[in-house]
Amino acid sequence: MDQKQNALRGYGQVKRQTASDKHIELQLFSSVTGRLRAQAQKNLNRLDGEMAEAILANAKLWNVLFCDLVGPENKLTADLKNNLISLAEFTQSHTQRVLRGQAGIDILIEINSAVIEGLRTAIKAPLSGSEVAREVA
């Protein structure tokens, strides 16, 4: 492996270690949603190997999010948690319908896009005093 690849790998590790949770979530949702969009445009909702991989990557992301949401260490408000849990459950159910050829992926893209916008808004919002204290602690 050459020095450039080593440097890029090292930078990626540092970036992952220093990025906030919201930034990481934004990157993951953006990546997965981009794959879904590309497949929707390319395949017009026709299920093939690449489409299935994109759909399963989305399902995996939502499964990880669900596990985080139901964990005791999750600090989101109860209302937001419940809304996101409902979306996660819907997404998993709809994914099964898509894989059976009974539905399209447009709603999955819409849901992810809404989450992306919410994350962007949360990242841009200034922290309140109590949030700053929590971030520092």
| Threshold 0.95, pTM exceeds | no
Q: What is the pLDDT along the chain (137 residues), one digit of tens a residue?
A: 565 565 556 545 544 444 588 999 999 999 999 999 998 888 665 778 888 999 999 999 999 999 999 999 999 999 999 999 999 999 999 999 999 989 999 999 999 999 999 999 989 876 554 444 344 33
Q: 64-69 contacts: CB < 8 A, separation 24 or more?
A: 65/25, 66/92
For residue 104, what are the contacts with CB-CB under 8 A and spacing of at least 6? Answer: 40, 45, 98
Domain ranges of the chain: 21-136
pLDDT in tens, 116-137: 999 999 898 765 544 443 443 3
Q: What is the 8-class DSSP label of residue 44?
A: T
